[in-house]
Structure 1
């Protein structure tokens, strides 16, 4: 049995050879046996294979004795919301996010929407799948569950409706699921939405929804300029990540959005803790301190960030990869809450998005994440640390290695999922220095790689 769809954090694979309804049915049975869940939320994304896989998954869950609450076509965050909001034992989202259109997968959570990954149950589920199963003495029941209205109410609770003013926003769902939510929110907000690639379509007529790829950004950027919009927002397929464009159509690096959201959230809460990843940090540290908060560094990756947020009871957590996490959202990531907060900030401040961001880019220019394929990543990272660690102000190993000097710093880490090394460099208000150090490090990596 091919179980290669089981990854570190979730399941992803090609349909039908790596994931199909027959395997999904067995995964449902194994999930119940390993977790003991009795009431499980099931939702699915816009992929053409998703309804069949979700139906088979539900059959397996019920055969093993669990009640299935089917929330239908949705985004990943709606499974997180429904699982915690309705006090369920777990939830499973059928999605492959931004993978190619012939792929599918699953994201699993337990009670309170705590992530299930390879170190807390996912490997056990994988190992149970090939073994024989017996039906539970009593079959679980099936119940459709309408979640959208409660979810929309929850989203609107993050912003002060009286502060919102009319403005034009470009929204690009990438033919994923985000458009369905925008249509619901539209009835409650004073904004005019210019909708690009809006209709859910699993054929992905405009390419796979992944705005992190530069070639996928022009549709949003061009519409912002053409419509004179205040900003543009684009999502990936299951809309747990959102990406921003300023009023000039410029794509904004996720790092600067983390700082903006941390600042906006701490203004509301009057302080509190913010979790961030170690790749780029100075801008976030600066803004969090100025807003009376406490910044805490965590290893990159949603399972690590969510656990650290629970441990610290943090109000907000952000990764430069465009994942944003909220305490009142079961410590989970949402692609809808961030843009609502940014829109609220534009209305309250009367500033443009570029003016809010430009000052931060000037203060802490960054390289953005640069990936290089390296034959022996641990060897190269160790050699870089040996060379640059001498005379550094600080060397940290929260995730890979982070090395800081007075006026510049960098993080170098291995990917969790592929044979690449990821580099991020930033400086204090010195673009030429940041660029020179980036070139220098890349040349050194190249030399070490032979």
Structure 2
């Protein structure tokens, strides 16, 4: 009888697979993921799949089961061991004998969570493709075989490639930089130690030992409280700036010399200015959560700004579709395709931030000072029943369209008014609605928040 497997429906997400280890995600799930993904790769003419993992306590167990599933369906596996997700992407993109990749990672989720991120033939593997893995498993629709498994070190080559981000930049000025780095006990640690040992300048490192308990702070640089240690380091040592990473280092956070957080869209603005000076007219993608000041700045500097959906897989796909040189999200995913591979890499983004400050001849604090001051909310997240989250956004859109509002609906509803703009969208990964608003005045921001609350109330919802 053909083996079959059913996943907990909550773990098959839009961009990846994620669950609570021992509750919604276990060894049998990892094995079935391997069986299904290997079958997809084989049926598309591939065979060799690279596998990496982060430093979570459950990652070795899940990796063993995943590799067993991959080889049982006839795929050949290349194990690269512990490292950041972008190292897995690099291994897939740079090798001529690799067809696909899977990274075992819980990213920035709580420490008892874990999951899987995928790439196939250099493209993100997401959405319906992930859902199809569940369909295949439930039907036992798997190839049978006996694949091989080999270990392949790639860390040294990956770090060499990161260093190329400084090519052509004045080495004397790079040598004057003093930078703080916070690995947050995540998977970035070993790569970060190797990288900074070879970078010009002075570097101060925090929490590079990989520890799945995350004893110092949670590895999510989009939450300002998690940057407290980095801010203290920058202040104590009088550094030029500091950077931090999430658990698998595909996202970056940054603080300037004064301890101000440089948010994701502000980092994109800096990278955009740097790229546009060297590649006039470049196309740059940012997600719907990004500030209008970013889109305005790109256009003012002669670039072509494109607003896209949120989600790292969706941004990568959009960039490939329109041949964009840079993309990014408020969440700290930054994608360089000008002279890199187009995937999200926090470590490479940090190297490029060094290069940008030198090429633009301004400190990070000066670059931040030059940006327009606005009043904005953080990302406001509130729970909603799964059956209502997309429906509610649809209701809001219908009312706004009927009223003749200025709406962009590529990912939820983003509404422009004389006060500024506000956004309401359904999360693709959780049973949540998310909202954000931005205005030139504090009073305008309050009115925008009031508009969000009024629309929610009309759909029987509230942020409370």
Structure-2-length-normalised TM-score? 0.88
CA 1:12/1:268 → structure 2, altered by over 3 Å: closer, same or farther? same
Q: Distance in 1 between matches of 2:25 and 2:383?
A: 28
Correspondence for 1:322: 332
CA 1:404/1:22 → structure 2, altered by over 3 Å: closer, same or farther? closer
Query: Does the 8 Å contact 1:381/1:413 carry over to 2?
Result: no
Query: Does the 8 Å contact 2:6/2:137 carry over to 1?
Result: no
Correspondence for 1:8: 14
Q: Distance in 2 between matches of 1:250 and 1:211?
A: 13
Could you list the per-position Cα deviations for residues 171-209 of structure 1 after superposition, in whole angstroms to 9, with x for gaps in the alignment?
111100112122111232122221122211112212431
Correspondence for 2:33: 27
The alignment status of 1:441 with 2:457, answered yes or no, reads: no
Correspondence for 1:80: 89
Query: Does the 8 Å contact 2:41/2:47 carry over to 1?
Result: no
Q: Distance in 1 between matches of 2:301 and 2:165?
A: 18
1:210 to 220, 223, 234: 220
SS in structure 2 opposite 1:360? Answer: coil
Correspondence for 2:52: 43
The alignment status of 1:220 with 2:227, answered yes or no, reads: no
Query: Does the 8 Å contact 2:393/2:413 carry over to 1?
Result: no
Query: Does the 8 Å contact 1:274/1:294 carry over to 2?
Result: yes
Correspondence for 1:339: 350
Correspondence for 1:403: 415
Correspondence for 1:229: 239
Correspondence for 2:207: 197
The alignment status of 1:177 with 2:190, answered yes or no, reads: no
Could you list the per-position Cα deviations for residues 51-74 of structure 1 after superposition, in whole angstroms to 9, with x for gaps in the alignment?
221122112212222111111111
Query: Does the 8 Å contact 1:275/1:317 carry over to 2?
Result: yes
The alignment status of 1:386 with 2:394, answered yes or no, reads: no
The alignment status of 1:168 with 2:172, answered yes or no, reads: no
The alignment status of 1:351 with 2:362, answered yes or no, reads: yes
Uncovered stretches (5+) of structure 2, i.e. residues with no partner: none
Q: Distance in 2 between matches of 1:379 and 1:124?
A: 26
Query: Does the 8 Å contact 1:280/1:426 carry over to 2?
Result: no
Query: Does the 8 Å contact 2:53/2:104 carry over to 1?
Result: yes
CA 1:436/1:102 → structure 2, altered by over 3 Å: closer, same or farther? closer
The alignment status of 1:61 with 2:65, answered yes or no, reads: no
Q: Distance in 1 between matches of 2:201 and 2:255?
A: 16
Q: Distance in 1 between matches of 2:423 and 2:106?
A: 28
Query: Does the 8 Å contact 2:52/2:102 carry over to 1?
Result: yes
Query: Does the 8 Å contact 2:83/2:187 carry over to 1?
Result: yes
Q: Distance in 2 between matches of 1:372 and 1:335?
A: 27
Q: Alpha carbon RMSD of aligned pairs, Å?
A: 2.4
CA 1:223/1:434 → structure 2, altered by over 3 Å: closer, same or farther? farther
CA 1:217/1:438 → structure 2, altered by over 3 Å: closer, same or farther? farther
2:255 to 237, 240, 245: 245
Deviates more, 1:402-411 or 1:43-52: 402-411
Uncovered stretches (5+) of structure 1, i.e. residues with no partner: none
Q: Distance in 2 between matches of 1:381 and 1:123?
A: 23
Q: Distance in 1 between matches of 2:313 and 2:259?
A: 33
CA 1:295/1:106 → structure 2, altered by over 3 Å: closer, same or farther? same
Q: Distance in 1 between matches of 2:225 and 2:455?
A: 27
Query: Does the 8 Å contact 1:280/1:425 carry over to 2?
Result: no
SS in structure 2 opposite 1:217? Answer: helix
Q: Distance in 2 between matches of 1:443 and 1:309?
A: 33
The alignment status of 1:122 with 2:130, answered yes or no, reads: yes
Aligned length: 443
SS in structure 1 opposite 2:117? Answer: strand
CA 1:135/1:259 → structure 2, altered by over 3 Å: closer, same or farther? closer
- How far residue 265 of structure 1 moved from its aligned partner, in angstroms, is 2.0
Correspondence for 2:155: 148
CA 1:373/1:30 → structure 2, altered by over 3 Å: closer, same or farther? closer
Q: Distance in 2 between matches of 1:285 and 1:423?
A: 19
Structure-1-length-normalised TM-score? 0.91
CA 1:135/1:380 → structure 2, altered by over 3 Å: closer, same or farther? closer
- How far residue 399 of structure 1 moved from its aligned partner, in angstroms, is 1.3
Deviates more, 1:206-215 or 1:331-340: 206-215
Query: Does the 8 Å contact 1:45/1:95 carry over to 2?
Result: yes
